[in-house]
Structures are given as structure tokens and as C-alpha cells.
Structure 1
Amino acid sequence: MKIRRIFFFLVLLAFSCEKDDKLAFEYITYLGDTCDGCPNIRITAPKALADSKIDKVVNNAIKEEIIYLLDFNEENDATDIESAVHSFTKGYTDLKHLFVDEPMTWEATITGSISYEDDTVLTIKLESYLFTGGAHGYQTIHYLNFNKTKAIALDGENLFKNTSDFEEYAESKFRKQEGIPEKGDINSTGFMFETGSFYLPQNIGYTQKGIELFYEQYEIASYADGPIVLTFPYPELQKYLAHVPKPK
């Protein structure tokens, strides 16, 4: 299977009089085969251009996340994005051969972008839509956060000085946004927190507007309710964030 790669280069201000600590990226688009019997695949992802440790950490995390998103089969042994695209295509064609007379269309669209970057923190946002049959597809957002100084990926807990303190603060904001009584059951208005208590989502990321909490469809509510999103402006988070962006 041939994968076409389309490159989009970010404009770099190489002659700026101020020091620019931002990483240099290129955008690469991976396309699946174009034919009547092929799934529709389009993956566009940023790739860090330098050879430093943080560039390698970022590129590997993006690669692994895209492989994970395309992996609907436990036997998927993809080691890069090209082979993940191939595996997704093979999954479709194998199923199509089993159900020759059934109308079938699969789709995988993943678009990566720089959600936030300063001298210390970088956040990559991956927006994805996958359809592999059934009543509807699945659309979501995944955030990948990095500490550029330490050259490490950050999970949700690493973003805060004390996760429990932030969780308590976030719950009060969540209840207010969603109209849940302050002292009532967190699920009293129809939410589905599995533990019966509020908890942070798996996807938390830096954005230009603030820290975003993104609950995927089914994570705490029904599919019909869609994703639940909370955004906290940085000035409110001085006492909670491990790294607070400086005002520009």
C-alpha cells in the first residue's frame, strides 16, 4: 500500500531579535489508498524537526498515540504511522471479504496541532474521528503535554502541584457549569461518574485560553450528550498548576 506524504512547514522567525525557545515543526499528512473499496484515511500530524531529546520524546509520543487510535485489533503490531494506516486498511478489507454483500465504509481522520507552547511547556492536540461500522462514528480530542526543560511527557497528575486540591476546585466549577446542586449526588442530574464521585478526565491540556478538561463521549455521560468540556483561565490557576504561563 502506498502512503502519500504531504509536507507543510511552519514559518520560523529566524531573524527575530528576541530568543525564540519554540520547537520547529513540519506537518506530515499520511493518506490511505484511494479506491472504491478502500477506507477513507487522512492523518495529519506535526513532527519536531531537531534531534534533541525533547524532539524525540514529542515525536515518539505523537506516533504512539496515533498508533493507539488506529488500533482496533489486539493483533496490530504497527511500529510507525505508515504501518498503522496499513493495519487499519487491512482490518477493513478482511471484514469486507467476510461480509461481501454488506455496505461498509470505514473512516479514520486524525489532525494534530500545537495547542500551546512556551519556554517550558508544550501541548499537542490530536483531534480524531473514527468510524468502523455501527450507528455512528467516534469523535474525540487527545492532549499530549510535555515539559520541554526536562524533556519528558506529562500525565494529568504532573500538571498540578496537588491533584486533590485541583480536583476539588474543578468539581465546584463543574457543578456550577452543569447545574448540579453543590451538596447533591454528582450523578443526580444524569451524569454517569462510575465511582459516584467527581474525578478528572483522562484528557487535560494547555490551550491558549487556559487549561482544558475534556471528557470524552461515554466517559461521564451518554453519547447523545456529547463531550463535556471545562476551560479554566490561567489567572485562576496560580495556586494549582505546576507551571503557570506568564502573561504576555
Structure 2
Amino acid sequence: MPFARLLAAASLGALLSACQMLPGGHDKLEPQRHAWEHLKPGCQGDTCPLVNIDAISFEDEPELNALINRRLLQMTQDSPDAPLPASFQSYERDFLASAEPGWSSYLQAKVLEEHDKLVLVELSSYLFTGGAHGMPGRGFINYDRKLEKPLSLGDMLLPGQEEAFWKVAEQAHRRWLATNKLDQDPEFARTWPFERTDNIGLGYGAMLLKYDVYTIAPYSSGHPELRIPYPQLNGILKPQYFPGRG
């Protein structure tokens, strides 16, 4: 083989090896999108009630697919005792059957990041049933493809480190207040103190904490997001969940 061709082959091999070392560069899942929007049957006009579904699934990942669908359907429950819809289709049918003009419901799932055999899925919802504004929702799924299971906070942390984690999260909250110039407002601090959240994501650049509206800030602030740099989680987070070590 001529030298130039040997050099090109070697360069290509090195490039492929480098790509496999990048986050999500090797064995990356490819989501299949399932999206539709339906209006109330027989309705015409701009105020027709609607349901908009934008879901995803993955080939050969039935447990993750079922989990995404279940979590999205849970976001439709507007009270603790509300029954869980059996499917998107049954939810759509029941919602539109009783919906009044202007009502709408949106559900979405998307891959936010993928790295180190982890898939971080972000779930979003928006429900409007009248009033000044609708109610949005957010959630995360951290799916460990090695373990073939979603991760809870306890799964991510070293034993006995949960309180230490929330102390670091409070520091992130103080940084968020300062960044948004809210740390000089004592009334804001009294009205919207720090709270814990279940919406925790293992991002590549930082650990993410997402909050629902009306938790640590008013509705106008949307969904506040706190970011914890990984160096601050040494001795708290399990080593395999630091990016690049998985």
C-alpha cells in the first residue's frame, strides 16, 4: 500500500478512536420521534381544545421506552388521587371529551444529553384549562444503560452523603440568587427559600437541579435551574458518575 494511503488509513483510525472517546461518540442511542397534535373532534376555529404529544422511543430499550411514557402520563395527573391514564390515546380522548374552548395539553420528551452510557431525558408538560396562564411541568430521567435502570439520587451518591449533597445544592442556590441579582432582596429570600427537588440530572458539564414554577421563585421566573460543578461533588457523588469516568 502506498505510504500516503497508509498515512490516511492511520489518520482515519485515530479519528474514529477519538470520536469514540467523546461524550456520546460511541454506541449512541438514536431516538425515534412520535409526534402528533389533535383537536377536539368536530371543532373548528382558533379556540379548539387540543392535545399535542411529542414523545420518543429507542430501539431495543423497552424498559426505557415504557418509563418515558409512564413519566409523561404521570405529568397529566392534576391531583394526588387522579388515575393514571392507560395510554396517550386514552388521555387524549378523555381530555378532549370534556375540554372547553381554549384548553390545551402538551407533553414532550427529548434527549437532553448522552454520555458515559448514561441517557439524560428531559420531560416537559404544559396544561391550560383556563385562568391567567397554564401550568408547566419539568422532569428528568437519568437512565444507566449499564445497569439498565433509572437512577435515583441515592443511586448516584456515595453512602451517607445525601445531606452533604444538599449543602452543596444550597451553595448553588446562593450562586443562582447572586447571578439573578436576587441576593440583596430579603423579602425574596423569605418568600422563596431554598427547597429540595426530585428533578436532578447528570449533565456532562454540571449536575443539574430543575425546579417547578412556584417552588423557589414566582411563576414569571419559569423553571429555575441550579448547576453544581462536578469538582464540588468529590467524595459525594459515586466515581462512575463523574463525566469521563463511566
SS state of the match for residue 75, structure 2?
helix
Q: Tell me the equivalent position of 2:11.
A: none
1:66 correspondence with 2:72: yes
Q: Does 1:85 align with 2:92?
A: yes
Q: Does 1:48 pair with 2:58?
A: yes
- Aligned mates of 2:172, 2:196 — CA distance in 1: 12
CA distance in 1, matches of 2:56, 2:75: 16
Displacement over 6 Å in runs of 4+: none
Which residue of structure 2 lines up, in the alignment, with residue 173 of structure 1? 172
Q: 1:109 to 1:188 in 2, by over 3 A?
A: closer
Counterparts of 1:222 and 1:22, CA distance in 2: 38
Secondary structure (helix, strand or coil) at the match of 2:35 reads strand
Deviation (angstroms), 1:77: 5.2
Given the superposition, is the C-alpha separation of residues 152 and 66 from structure 1 closer, same or farther in structure 2, using an over 3 Å criterion? same
Residue among 205, 209, 214 paired with 2:210: 214
Cα separation, 2, equivalents of 1:199 and 1:72: 21
Q: Any idea what the Cα deviations from partners look like across 1:79-101, whole Å, max 9, x if unmatched?
A: 12222222221231xxx4xxxxx
Which residue of 2 is the match for residue 189 of structure 1?
189
Question: Where does 1:112-123 land on structure 2 (aligned, <5 Å)?
Answer: 112-123=109-120
Partner amino acid, structure 1, of 2:108: T
RMSD: 2.8
Consecutive unaligned residues in structure 1, runs of 5 or more: 1-15, 97-103
Write the distance in 1 (CA, Å) between the matches of 2:175 and 2:116.
Answer: 34
Deviations 1:105-162 (A, max 9, x none): 1112222211122243211011222211111112232111112111111223322222
| Richer in helix (by share) | 2
Partner Cα separation in structure 2 for residue 199 and residue 158 of structure 1: 21
TM-score of the aligned structures, taking structure 2 as reference length: 0.73
Native 8 Å contact 1:21 1:118 kept in 2: no
- Say yes or no: does 1:32 pair with 2:38: yes
Contact kept in structure 1, 2:115 and 2:204, CA below 8 Å: no
Percent identical pairs in the alignment equals 24
Is this contact kept in 2: 1:115–1:206, CA < 8 A? no
